Amino acid sequence: MNSIDKFIIDRANTWLQGDYDDNTKQEIKLMMENSPENLTDSFYRDLEFGTGGLRGIMGAGSNRMNKYTVGMATQGFANFLKNEYQNIKQISVAIAYDCRNNNTFFAETTANVLTGNGIKVYLFDDLRPTPELSFAVRYLKCQGGIVITASHNPKEYNGYKVYGDDGAQLVSPQDKMVMEEVSRINSLSDVKFADNKNLLSYIGSEIDEIYIQKIKDESLNPEIINKHKDLKIVYTPIHGTGVKLIPAALKKFGFENIISVKEQNVVDGNFPTVHSPNPEESEALKMAISKAKETDAILVMASDPDADRVGIAVRDRNNNFVLLNGNQTASVLFYYILSQYKDKGKLHGNEFIVKTVVTSEILIDIANSFGIDYYDVLTGFKFIANVIKLEEGKKKFIVGGEESYGYLIGDFVRDKDAVSACCFIAETAAWAAENGKSIYDIMEEIYTKYGFYYETLKSVVRQGKSGAEEIQDMMDNYRSNTPQKIAGSKVVMVKDYLLQINKNILTLESTPIELPKSNVLQFFCENGSKITVRPSGTEPKIKFYFGVKGQLNAGDDFDSKTNELKNQVDKIISDLKL
């Protein structure tokens, strides 16, 4: 005990003496006796309610996900709703949860506090994808939504994401208003844990069917799917929420040969077959690719635990499976959807697409080639959703995406959606097959037509207070000492999203950036390279996004051209001394 800071002991004793359950107190006592490091980490701060909600390790303590931190966050959200919607007779909120440990408990705790505050709750009767929660908020005309998930974080984590009445995660000023309300909850006595069962309704398959039908309504080539309904497709939910709805949605689209990875169909918040349930990592798709080789499938798809992101693997020209990154999948999806809109006479001059500023510039090239407006937004799908909201009734949203494997087709959901994305990736494969091609062939054709884009990400981790200061010093230095050249190519434009200035280095002209302030810098080079520097808002790291561009001619070797661009990125990394 002597090695533990008095501040930590005092905070822990407050819980031991407070109105907390016996299991929580026993866990704290064990940490006091055996694990001073865990005790410190559990109590050195309050678990932060950020612009998206909560995320943290589960356990006892003020810096952990537990009944009490979830209850206090929910009370703050309830207070916000009651202030914001004073003229609505019955405020309502939809709640969903994924496969993580304790998710039903946290969902029920959330429902109890909301109903205790007189708020009507629609609680899903079992785990559901995050995008279906977004859909349910809109369909049921709720004023808010909550999904219990920690996305692809390790099994020790859980989280809590908050949605507004448009089915999207909150943006300013509402997100700040909720944060302020949560910060005012200082004790358990402020939280109304006593539930009101009369205000709780369970929802189930009826919402599933409507949601899946809405996805099916967006299908562009049902007749082609019918011709290629036997395409062999391997899908894995990686122990997560997609296990129910994604196979059902694919079947609704008309695909009849969906092959599962049985070991990963088991819903399990411990994710026993993978190191991390993250479809961005090759290891997460290893079992699915093995199954695809065994069954001679042409496509592998894997969704993350809450089924809002999807990673894919396709066969290359040598019939080997290769993983596509988020930018590559986005380029294929965008190209397929826009080309079919054009071919079917569905373009009327008021359509648009949205991407994030760190996502590949090839999506802009594709949009321009079809005469489609585009919007670049800050990182985070809530900003894509906000553009859809602002343009609603004036322009038609077609498709949006981000490099971190999130895509959205149609506007009936307002978050990234692996359910609809899987359906349209499969439909793209059927369309390619109808033309005697594969998804890989389509990707190569896109690169030949628009330029060969190669993107990658490097994170630099700096721990502790000194690390945070070092990261800030790096950003300050890049702002005050703009590189004249990067890897031998002139820097021709700098975008500073904190100062909200877009500066042309050649003409010295500056134009405003009409986006919220964010600590992000972008350098654009004469040769088409784009370097984005962005400190993480949740981790002690600074992220560097690299995008370079070359030329791929018909018949060129794809792998050798890829290596050329990789070498170009290596030169940029060396120039920036990373």
- Please enumerate in sequence order all residues whose Cβ is within 8 A of that of 436, keeping only pairs 6 or more positions apart, or say none: none
User: For each of the chain's 578 residues, which pLDDT tens digit applies?
Assistant: 557 889 999 999 999 999 999 999 999 999 999 999 999 999 999 999 988 899 999 999 999 999 999 999 999 999 999 999 999 999 999 999 999 999 999 999 999 999 999 999 999 999 999 999 999 999 999 999 999 999 988 999 999 999 999 999 999 999 999 999 999 998 999 999 999 999 999 999 999 999 999 999 999 999 999 999 999 999 999 999 999 999 999 999 999 999 999 999 999 999 999 999 999 999 999 999 999 999 999 999 999 999 999 999 999 999 999 999 999 999 999 999 999 999 999 999 999 999 999 999 999 999 999 999 999 999 999 999 999 999 999 999 999 999 999 999 999 999 999 999 999 999 999 999 999 999 999 999 999 999 999 999 999 998 877 788 899 999 999 999 999 999 999 999 999 999 999 999 999 999 999 999 999 999 999 999 999 999 986 667 999 999 999 999 988 899 999 999 999 999 999 999 88
- Domains of the chain, each with CATH number or no CATH: 45-209 (3.40.120.10), 452-575 (3.30.310.50)
For residue 534, the surrounding DSSP H or E stretch is: strand 530-535
Q: Let me know: does 360 contact 330? Beta carbons within 8 Å.
A: yes
How crowded is residue 318: how many other Cβ atoms within 10 Å of its Cβ? 8
State residue 567 phi and psi, 5-degree precision: -65, -35
Give pLDDT tens digits for 300-317.
999 999 999 999 999 999
Residue 578: what pLDDT?
87
Residues noted as catalytic: 151
Residue 289: what pLDDT?
98
Query: What does the DSSP 8-state code read for residue 528?
Result: S
State residue 284 phi and psi, 5-degree precision: -70, -25
Which amino acid belongs to residue 52? G
Alpha carbon distance 182, 313 (integer Å): 42
Give pLDDT tens digits for 160-173.
999 999 999 999 99
| Residues pairing with 544 in the sheet | 458, 533
What does the radius of gyration of the chain's CA atoms come to, in whole angstroms?
A: 24
Instruction: From 310, 557, 307, 313, select the one nearest 447 (Cα to Cα).
Output: 557
Q: Up-side HSE of residue 418: CA atoms within 13 Å toward CB?
A: 33
Kindly state the greatest CA–CA separation across the chain.
75
Do β-strands 120-124 and 92-97 pair in parallel, antiparallel, or remain unpaired? parallel
Alpha carbon distance 126, 465 (integer Å): 42
For residue 396, the surrounding DSSP H or E stretch is: strand 396-402
Do β-strands 541-550 and 452-461 pair in parallel, antiparallel, or remain unpaired? antiparallel
For residue 67, the surrounding DSSP H or E stretch is: helix 67-84
Grouping H, G, I as helix, E, B as strand and the rest as coil, residue 254 is coil
Residue 50: what pLDDT?
86
Q: Let me know: does 15 contact 502? Beta carbons within 8 Å.
A: no
How crowded is residue 227: how many other Cβ atoms within 10 Å of its Cβ? 13
Which amino acid belongs to residue 307? A
Residue 555: what pLDDT?
83
